[in-house]
Structure 1
Amino acid sequence: MAIELTEQLLAQIDAYLQGKLTLIESEAFEKRLQQEPDLQEEVRLQQQLFDTLGAEKWHSIQRTKNKERLAELKSKLRSKEYQELSENIRNAETVYFNEQSSSKSFKKYYRYFAIAGMIVLFCGIYFSQLNTSYSSYYESNVDWSTLTSFAEKGELNTFSKGELAFKKEDYKTAAEQFSMVETSYELYAHSLLRLGASYDKLDENDKAIAAFQKLASVDDSYEASKGYWYEALLHLKNDDKEKAIIALKKSAELKDNFKYREAKVLLRKLE
């Protein structure tokens, strides 16, 4: 049975590899390693990657939201192709050293660099993918500063209060105001868009998605299509590709929809 890589266990593995555990903690962890082959394998992979990339870069990768790609990378390291590549390099290394009269110390360092080079060569593409998560699509497509202003001078109602708060970057107050706009109000659809934007700014992603889903159900088809588009982008912010694709397909159904072409392009990239 595969082990569950909790945050606590990952922190323990990290501390073990860096020699930060106490003697008692280290002995207890090593005893567990002897009893759990899956944990041994995980520690071996962590050590391999830690040694090759260095502490700082490996820690940044561990913190990535894209757990799916991190799991894919580790799967590649366990794969038959990787193991065969590793074996071929070791065989080539043996032949090379048999033909040379170099010192033992040189052999030692050459071996280290050969293995490190192999890992970097094999994993480089995967690490570059890890560092570019789906949230990058969200970041390149969302710009709330372009929202049209509907506020008129001297007018003070719930919607205008929300707009004013949003402009002042008081997103909590903005969300409170926009959430109180009545469904009968002529700018109700626009209030839902701004409600979602406010929650997005507050990093309350689930509430933002709920607001955009509500926007997608309004009678005005063009305004509704904005709901699908921004819902998709919030799913990408959460690195949830599958839900993003579902929303994007709805966004790309009609040519008159908001961001129709962009939705089609994004779909091709994700599918």
Structure 2
Amino acid sequence: MELSDELLEQIGAYLSGKLSAEEKDRFDDRLAIDPLLQQEVAIQRELKQGLSFLAQKDRFKQLHADLDKRGLLNEIQSGTSEPNRTDLPIPDTKLAPFPERPQTLQRSFRYGWASWAMAASVVLVLGIGWVLYRNQTQKQDELAKNERIFNDFFTVEIKSAPPLADDPDRVAASPDNGQTKADSARLHALVERLQRVNPQPVIGELTALSASNPGHWSASAQWYLALAYLKNNQQTEAEIRLQKISQLNGHPYQQEARRLLNQLRSSVPDRP
């Protein structure tokens, strides 16, 4: 699954409750069928909670420093002691100096806070670092897996167009006309490019061809579009198209789509 800026914004808006009801329903539907998206949302939630904790800690530290600077901590500590009474006679008794406990407590509190803050910061930084490292490792493993599966299913030999059939469920057959020949030549060229170059520019052209006149070549373009998404490490987009192909009777790559979809879902790594 590719972490595009758009997807990261959607995850952030989802976790912040900024999506509309309709957008949230769509995101929940996608989240329910996409284990990798579930992992990413969980990771982003952990990071969000960690950053929130840091912000709360900084605010508390600033508040403590402000109270200390204004001398209010001493007032808080001594607020429960009785005020001096000047209207009462002072007994002629030598009093021992009262131990300066409040100051000792104040210093101990400062040292305790500093130690706690430092320890908490170290633990939090290590935790965030581990999450980021694990996330990066999972992405590298996913990229290698998708590349291997792509190579297993990709072939430059496109299936030939079947003869016309009366089956109303069949989407593969199409009339042999000029547009059909043009679509065939276009798809063969795109498949050659998909084998050799970065899949990103090919994805746009395959998308357009797959949405053109219904027939064998547009249906075949749907299959190669799913493979292009897989090669580009956009597994979620690939699975969406494979799911549609696998449910479409008569599609020239229906069986291949089912096998590929099963392999992708069975190879999803478990979270440690």
Q: TM-score range by the shorter chain?
A: 0.3 to 0.5
TM-score, normalising length from structure 2? 0.40
Higher relative contact order by CA 8 Å / sep ≥ 6: 1 or 2? 2
